[in-house]
Amino acid sequence: MRIGVITFPGTCDDVDARLAAGKVGEAVALWHRDPDLHGVDAVVVPGGFSYGDYLRAGAIARFSPAMGSVVDFAREGGLVLGICNGFQILCEAGLLPGALLPNTNLRFTCRQVDLEVVRTDTPFTSTCEVGERLSIPAKHTSGRFVGDVPEDQVVLRYAAGENFNGSQDDIAGVVNEGRNVLGLMPHPEHAVDVLTGGSADGLKLFEGMARVAVA
Amino acid sequence: MSPSPEAQSIPGLEQAVALGLTREEYALVCDELGGREPNEVELAMFSLLWSEHCAYKHSKKLLRTLPTEGPAVVMGPGENAGAVDVGDGWAVAFKVESHNHPSAVEPFQGAATGVGGILRDIFALGARPIAVLDSLRFGEPTSERSRYLLDRAVAGIGHYGNSIGVPTVGGEVSFEGPYETNCLVNAMAIGLARTDDMVRSAAAGVGNVLVLFGASTGRDGIGGASVLASAELDAEDDSKRPSVQVGDPFEESKLLECSLELLDRGLLVALQDLGAAGLTSAASEMAAKGGVGLDLDVARVPLREADMAPFEIMVSESQERMLCVCEPAQVEAVLAVCEKWEVHGTAVGEVTGTGRFRVLRDGAVVGDMPVSGLVDDCPLYDLAPERPAAPLYPAPPAVLGREADVREALTALLSSPNLASRRPLFEQYDPIVQSRTVRRPEEADAAVLWLHDMGEGAPAIATSIDGNGRKVAADPYWGTIGNALECAANLACVGAQPLGTTNNLNFGNPEKPHIAWQLSEAVRGLGDACRALEAPIVGGNVSLYNEGADGPIYPTPVVGMVGVLPDPRRAGRLGFAAEGDAIALVGWGAEAAPSLAASELAKLRGEALPDGLPALDLDRVVATLDAVREAVRADELRSAHDIAEGGLLVAVAEACLAGGIGAALDLGDSDDVWTRLFGERPGGFVVSGPREALDRLGERAPVELVGTVGGDALEVAVGSLGERWALAELREAHGALAPLFP
């Protein structure tokens, strides 16, 4: 099981994503300028501030050579997980519905939040149960999800009282129609080890991804 | 050798004085130039390098008295940052720096570039930055300007640290009237490196090439160090906005990765960041350390504005730039790495054997100065310290009446700006990126960072930054000792042994005798404390002339400390954890009573500062710290929290709030309930754990069992007094800062 993690200039959470991927398989560093995905079984588009995010978050990164290949990979059914800035990039690339607007408080906010698993019929949540709560940190300035998204594509919601960014219908994570691309604002890669994550709940998403990618 | 005819005209003495040089210093500059007067380029360079900010001319003699050596020291003062050994061939580099005056003028960019600058100091050594902490001082939040400065400075720190992927793991903020017109923004950064891979900044090798890389050079920040940092602020500060630099964390993120890759591939001889005084300072310091000369051609420096004069290019403080020295054969490889990271790199000069710093433009000499004269020959001044006969600072306004009872006093303290929860601030920072953070803010007294890069069995470091200015104003010697002990106590609470110390001395105008006295006494205290703690000073910064129209700031020596703990899984927490655990006070015995002098309660009551603080038995405090640290390391305690601002009752309330569980205390009889509950002094702790564990701790340090963890309220009995606060009530009081960040 080889999981690729793309690094753009300005990406911050790539090391964390590789550490998390390394717990369920082999982490492979991918470079934004390189269109070759090196035969990985799944791709993580990690968090950070690609190209500084001085334009709209993710607006420039979607044009990188690596993202061109990720779009093709996803259209062929390859598993893609977009976290935070990665979620924003996948929306910009048209792989996921909706958009991420500035938080209602207009501030960068970092908080450990509880998520509720809404659906388990995606590879990523296949090891969870419906209604299960995952404690995962979220940290972003533009995480307010808005969009016309079918109910069956909403996979994760903020639990009651946890939606600090003002996301529509408490939506925290969505999949594409094919259910092989997941984007979420909270950071599962920062919750894979109780020593540093406060919980290891985020590991479940990586385990689900690895289980299906190998199958 | 004299400058060619292309050089600018001679600005003369009056211009030199306007740039901050004294008449005597100007005469010395002329001597350095063989008797001729400096031209525009030379005068700009000398006036900056001989400014207080660059030359430490009023503090260097004092700083030489500080302890700088110890078994763990890998790199001491004089390099871009200090570094200490954390085992297995790894070192941790760290330093604190101030960006006070830029932040007072433009808080967002001032604070942001403060973070950017200290991060460059760390990766200039070849260390990957792994943490940022900040220490902030503002006027009371009742003032609209203070709220604006706080809001924008916090946003600026977050903007830079969050965007560059370095966690902001800790810090402190306090609010006091004397900072109203002169806020303090100090930032500390920590980096991790293999000891053998760390690089120094000494240029070497005649014929080697100087490569400037990073952002292009503009007119921003011209004179930042001399105009802003080496003079008092006044009412015309808005006109100084152009002297404040503008930060670009994206550029710095690329610069960081580019620098570390250049070093990792062994392509560099030396590396230095561009900070205050820009190219002038970076290049001349590299040359001075290497005992070499330099030729630098300003026509080759990439510019934002085409018509910049040579002196402007030499003194620009445009951010996100680095200067390196490499062998001629490596230039192509260096530039290729720059290209990979989309960083602009340009060869701008070369190392010479002349000992002269020659500034060229298209090959014509426009400045020619001895390197040693620029860097080493600035005159150092003796201070003329004089203990003030009368108080320097007015009493703060009273916000808590004498008639208030203990019940009211605790909620007033918990909701006061200095003690209320910092959550609304630190939630604007990313404390977890890089997957090292074992203890986040408000989980423990110190931040704890796991050094997972070191592989199996990797240790963690703990870090804290502290600097109570009010106590130092009351007693510069014992107040400064208190700041260092506070850091060490925070480290002890997570189980960490101090390895080294950094400091930022924020003071007023040292040419005034009373400020000179504060500074001398503070440095004496810092030295004594660091010697007692065996935590030598490995680097730091001095920020003087912190005065506004209302007078000087509280003298504020900010102390940052880094320590190591072998097992990150055993890192201590501050919150009570288990129903039925016993609660004990450690090192809080009657032989060294706490005092209300300069305490938070005294401040709320509007009391004037006392003249002096009670003396301490340093050896006894250090022994208590050792005992607490060992108990935490042995996993004996379930919580450990030092008794700091607000005293015993505030510390217990904080432990309740952090753990989400109540406590019942019986403090026995007391002839002075107020001092018992709210008195302060360094070296005391509130710990909880099984009764037997606390008994074992009592064999090593004075332990007083005072209560039990449990319930959903804090209950206190002392003498005839009995009080009870529901946790919800304490939590509401503690959340008082939230409205500042709507």
A15 part of contact set with chain B, CB < 8 Å: yes
Residue-by-residue DSSP string for A3-71: EEEEE-TTB-THHHHHHHHTTTSEEEEEETT----TT-SEEEE--B-GGGG-SSTTTTGGGSHHHHHHH
Exposure class string for B520-532: b at 16+ Cβ within 10 A, else e:
bbbbbbbbbbbeb
What is the distance in angstroms between the Cα of B625 and the nearest Cα belonging to chain A? 25
Give the distance between the most distant pair of CA atoms in chain B: 88
Average pLDDT over residues B397-405: 95
Active site residue ranges of B? 53, 99
The Cα B662–Cα B711 span in angstroms is 5
Q: Contacts of residue A54 in chain B, CB cutoff 8 Å?
A: 250
CA proximity to B417, closest of B432, B434, B397, B431: B397
Please report which helix (H) or strand (E) contains residue A149, including its range. Answer: none
Q: How far apart are CA B490 and CA B462, in angstroms?
A: 9
Give the ranges where B328-404 is alpha helix by DSSP (H): 331-340, 371-376
pLDDT at B160 over 90: yes
Helix B618-633 / helix B513-533 crossing angle, nearest 10 deg: 50
Nearest Cα residue to B345 out of B210, B445, B453: B210
Residue numbers in A near B159 (CB within 8 A): 108
Cβ-defined contact of A15 to B452 (cutoff 8 Å) = no
Q: Which of B291, B369, B308 is nearest to B50 (CA)?
A: B369
Interface check for A65 against chain B (CB to CB < 8 A): the answer is no
pTM exceeds 0.90: yes
| Residue of B301, B445, B288 whose CA lies nearest to B374 | B288
The values of phi and psi at residue B632, to 5°, are -65, -45
**CB-CB neighbors (< 8 A) of A137 in chain B:** 432
- Going by pLDDT thresholds of 50, 70 and 90, the confidence category of residue A120 is very high
Query: Is the minimum CB–CB distance between A73 and chain B shorter than 8 Å?
Result: no
CB B661 within 8 A of CB B711: yes
The Cα B575–Cα B596 span in angstroms is 25
- Report the mean per-residue pLDDT for chain A: 96
Tell me the residue type at B87.
Answer: G
Q: B531 pairs with which residues across the strands? A: none
Per-residue model confidence as pLDDT tens digits over B571-607: 999 999 999 999 999 999 766 789 999 999 999 999 9
CA atoms within 13 A on the CB side of B228: 28
- pLDDT per residue over B54-64, tens digit each? 889 999 999 99
Instruction: Say whether residue A116 is in contact with chain B using an 8 A CB cutoff.
Output: no
Selection from B493, B419, B434, B433 nearest residue B462 by Cα: B493
Distance CA B666, CA B651 (A): 15
Name the interface residues of B facing A (CB cutoff 8 Å).
Answer: 155, 158-159, 162-165, 248-251, 253-254, 341-342, 427-438, 440, 450, 452, 568-569, 741-742
Asked whether residue B645 carries a pLDDT value surpassing 70, the answer given is yes
pLDDT digits (tens, 9 = 90+) for A153-205: 999 999 999 999 999 999 999 999 999 999 999 999 999 999 997 899 999 99
Residue B79: per-residue pLDDT: 84
Q: Which residue of B has its CA nearest to A54?
A: B250
| Tens digits of residue pLDDT in A128-154 | 999 999 999 999 999 999 999 999 999
Report the pLDDT value the prediction gives residue B219, as an integer from 0 to 100.
86
Q: Is A46 on the interface with B (CB under 8 A)?
A: no
Q: Report the residue from A105, A108, A111 with minimal CB separation from B158.
A: A108
E-strand ranges in B282-399 read 293-297, 321-326, 345-352, 356-361, 364-370
Q: What share of chain B is helix, strand, coil (3-state, %, to 5)?
A: 40, 25, 40
Position B5 scores a pLDDT of 43
pLDDT band at A215 (very low <50, low <70, confident <90, very high): low
pLDDT of residue B7: 54
Nearest-angstrom CA–CA distance, B483 and B645: 11
Contact A15 B435 (CB under 8 A): yes
Segment B286-313 shows an average pLDDT of 94
Q: Contact B253/A10, CB-based, under 8 Å?
A: yes
Does B239 score more than 60 pLDDT?
no
Chain A environment of B568 (Cβ under 8 Å): 195
| ipTM confidence score | 0.96
Interchain CB distance below 8 Å, B428 and A52? no
B433 close to B167: Cβ distance less than 8 angstroms: yes
pLDDT at residue number A137? 97
CA distance A142 to chain B (A): 13
Question: What's the one-letter identity of residue B220?
Answer: D
Q: Where are the beta strands (DSSP E) in B620-735?
A: 639-642, 663-666, 685-689, 703-709, 713-718, 721-726
Question: Are B203 and B286 contacting, i.e. CB atoms less than 8 angstroms apart?
Answer: yes
B415, B343, B376, B424: which is closest to B154 by C-alpha? Answer: B424
Q: What is the pLDDT of residue B1?
A: 46
For strands B128-138 and B184-194, give the pairing: antiparallel
How far is CA B73 from each of CA A149, B237, B421, rounded to the nearest angstrom? 58, 41, 35
Amino acid at B43: L
- Does B432 contact A9 at a Cβ distance shorter than 8 Å? no
d(C-alpha A187, C-alpha A99), whole Å: 18
Contacts of A46 in chain B (CB under 8 A): none
From A141, which residue of chain B is nearest by alpha-carbon distance?
A: B428
Quick check: B240 pLDDT over 70? no
Mutating which of B432, B442, B451, B456 best tests the A interface, going by the most A Cβ atoms within 10 A?
Answer: B432
Lowest mean per-residue pLDDT among B228-232, B412-416, B491-495, B546-550: B228-232
pLDDT above 50 for A46: yes
| A-B contacts (CB, under 8 Å) | 86
Q: B441 phi and psi, to 5 degrees?
A: -55, 140
Strands B582-586 and B345-352: unpaired
How confident is the model at residue B366, as a pLDDT? Answer: 94
Instruction: Note whether A13 contacts B: Cβ–Cβ < 8 A.
Output: yes
| Cβ neighbours around B558 below 10 Å, total | 30
What is the predicted pLDDT for the residue at A213?
66
pLDDT of residue B223: 60
* Tokens at B737, concatenated: 């800062």
**Edge-to-edge strand order for the sheet containing A154-158?**
A26-31, A2-7, A42-45, A79-83, A181-184, A171-175, A154-158, A109-117, A133-140
Token duo for residue A86: 């990665």
Helices (H), A43-185: 65-75, 85-92
Are the beta carbons of A196 and B436 separated by less than 8 Å? yes
Give the span between the Cα atoms of B3 and B10, in whole angstroms.
11
How many other CB atoms sit within 10 Å of the CB of residue B242? 15
For B254, the closest of A9, A109, A198 (CB atoms) is A9
Residues of B in contact with A105 (CB under 8 A): 741-742
Neighbouring C-beta atoms of residue B67, cutoff 10 Å = 19
Q: Are residues A190 and B158, on separate chains, in Cβ contact within 8 Å?
A: no
- Spatial contact of B170 and B422, defined as CB atoms under 8 Å apart: no
Rounded Cα distance between A80 and B3, Å, is 63
CB contact under 8 A, B428 and A13: no
Q: Which residues contact B429 (CB under 8 A, 6 or more apart)?
A: A108, A110, B157, B158, B161, B162, B167, B168
pLDDT value, residue B613: 95
State the average pLDDT over residues B269-287. 93
pLDDT in tens, B327-366: 999 999 999 999 999 999 999 999 999 999 999 999 899 9
SS3 call for A196: helix
**Closest CB to A195 among B248, B433, B450:** B450
pLDDT at residue B304, as a whole number? 92
Q: According to the model, what pLDDT value does residue B233 have?
A: 60
Contact residues on chain A for B249, CB-CB shorter than 8 A = 49, 52
Taking an 8 Å cut-off on Cβ atoms, the answer to whether A108 and B253 are in contact is: no
Which of B250, B433, B437 is nearest residue A10 as measured by Cβ atoms?
A: B250
User: Is the pLDDT reported for residue B275 higher than 50?
Assistant: yes
Q: Do B427 and A51 touch (CB under 8 A)?
A: no
Q: Tokens in use for B156?
A: 């600026």
Band of pLDDT at residue B232, cut at 50, 70 and 90: low
Nearest CA in chain A to B570: A195
Chain B residues with CB-CB distance to A197 below 8 A: 432, 435
- Picking from B341, B429, B433, the nearest residue to A16 by CB comes out as B433
Gyration radius (Cα) of chain B, Å: 26
